[in-house]
Amino acid sequence: MVTIKDSVHDHITVEGVAADLLDTPAVQRLRRITQLGTVEYVYPSANHTRFEHSLGVYHLATRALDHLGIEGTQAERLRAAAILHDIGHTPYSHNIEALVARRTGKLHDEVEDLLETGDVARTLALHDIDPSAVADLIAGDGEFGPLVSGELDVDRMDYLVRDAHHTGVPYGTIDAGRLIRELRFVDGELVLAEGNVQTAESLLVARALMNPVVYNHHVARISKAMLRRATEQLLTAGVTDAETLRRMDDAALRSALRDCAATAPLATRLDRRTLYKRAVWAELRDVPDDIVDADHETCREHERAIAERAGVDPAAVIIDVPSRPSMRESTSRVVVGGEVRTLGSQSTLVAALRRTQREQWRLGVYAPEAETDAVGSAAEDILGLDLDALVVDVRQGVNTRLDEFQE
């Protein structure tokens, strides 16, 4: 057993299989992977790690297991899943995950290979725990998987509070204690007990408030896009392969980017925080559907066409198209009038938050500061954007439609 002082949950006591897993290389690697990636370019104190977060998830999972009365082998499997749930993350967490997944076919929660070999496998075997059962829990499968990875999971309960704490943004506050106390299993489903529609809504509100000011802040998105582009160039140059890359830590990736001639210019910009600027920052309603739904290769073709039209180096243009707005948390189950229902069917707030998500969505086209005017004009033509009706102040991130302004 070991007791660890945590910045969010105070003292965390780790015991059993989780304590033995702490010192395995796969878990210790998480000390060297930042939780929020490039968000530290916006909030300098946002340098907390996946290791801290994993401890927090373990702590909340333990509290939930005690509350739900889950004991024995099943409880140990869940504790192992909680401490191991992020070991599959690429460097800089989600920032380059999609890039690596395109080349490996594996996302961060597909960790069977890490659980079935090496120190992690030996530790699980010593505790008579099946690695495949832990992998299923990490993927959110089975009756108990949603406790680790689901709409009401302890992962979300920790990261919202932790990210708010380390950025200093007062928007991620949730009542994790109440959320855990109100968890129930009804007919094999993880739900919130009667009278907790507002409790479930608190997760939605916290996430909705954190998205524009932290997770999707324009500087975080620009720096993430630059890191992603540099990493893609690194793989194209053959310096490393995607399987090796996905097991690096942040420092190893940054070192590789500095040492590769093809990626050194972007690496230098990231080191010096000489970031690209917004040439276009467009709302969802002003972007054609085929651009919103374009795949990676199509976006690259558009980047080359924009660069040619603007008369700039192709490396000077990056298109950043987020996924369409979604709200997975709205499918959370709550008991209302003795029946299990989805939050989306019971909460009038869900519709408002969905509308907010759509309004917050932005397509970005980024370029070096001196080239943003030329790139912006070219992007408007190539992408077929309806920007004539917009007054755009990229310094403040404010888009105002002319017809609304005139009213």
Sign, CA torsion 343/74/160/112 = negative
Confidence check: pLDDT of 378 > 50: yes
Q: Is the pLDDT of residue 271 over 50?
A: yes
Cα 280 off chain centre by: 23
361, 212 Cβ separation under 8 angstroms: no
Largest CA distance in the chain: 71
Query: pLDDT digit string (tens) for 69-111?
Result: 999 999 999 999 999 999 999 999 999 999 999 999 988 888 9
Q: List beta partners, residue 11.
A: 5
Residue 230: closest CA among 276, 254, 266: 266
Sign of CA pseudo-dihedral 67, 69, 71, 74 = negative
User: What does the alpha-carbon distance between residue 268 and residue 41 come to, in Å, rounded to a whole number?
Assistant: 14
Other CB atoms within 10 Å distance of the CB of residue 42: 18
Mean pLDDT of all residues in 41-50 = 97
Backbone dihedral region for residue 148 (phi beyond 0: left; psi -120 to 50: alpha; all else: beta): alpha
Name the residue with higher pLDDT: 150 or 109.
Answer: 150
pLDDT in tens, 274-306: 999 999 999 999 999 999 999 999 999 999 999
Whether pLDDT at 398 is above 50: no
Provide the pLDDT for residue 108: 85
pLDDT attached to residue 44: 97
Q: What is the Cα 9 distance to its own chain's centre?
A: 21
Determine the distance from the C-alpha atom of residue 375 to the mean position of all C-alpha atoms in its chain, rounded to a whole number: 29
The pLDDT of residue 388: 63
Q: Model confidence at 18, in pLDDT bands (50, 70, 90)?
A: very high
- pLDDT (0 to 100) of residue 405: 31
Q: How far apart are CA 315 and CA 300, in angstroms?
A: 10
Q: Please tell me the predicted confidence (pLDDT) of residue 110.
A: 86
Q: Kindly indicate the confidence band of residue 328, based on its pLDDT and cuts at 50, 70 and 90.
A: confident
In this prediction the pTM is 0.92
What's the pLDDT at 81?
A: 97
User: CA–CA separation, 27 vs 53, rounded Å?
Assistant: 11
Tell me if 96 sits within 8 A of 231, measured CB to CB.
yes
| Tokens describing residue 277 | 């600027």
Say how many Å lie between the first and final Cα of the chain, rounded.
Answer: 66
Between CA 33 and CA 65 the distance in angstroms is 28
Distance between CA atoms of residues 213 and 207, nearest Å: 10
Q: Which domains does the chain have, with CATH numbers?
A: 2-214 (1.10.3210.10), 276-324+361-407 (3.30.70)
178 is written with which tokens?
């109440």
The CA-atom distances, in angstroms, between 360 and each of 238, 283, 357 are: 38, 8, 5
Res 383 pLDDT > 50: yes
Could you write out the DSSP letters of every residue in 321-373? -PPPP--GGGG-EEEETTEEEEHHHH-HHHHHHHHHHHHH-EEEEEE-GGGHH
Mean confidence (pLDDT) of the chain: 93
- Does position 393 have pLDDT exceeding 60, yes or no? no
**Residue owning tokens 């999971």:** 153
User: Is residue 333 within 8 Å of 185, Cβ to Cβ?
Assistant: no
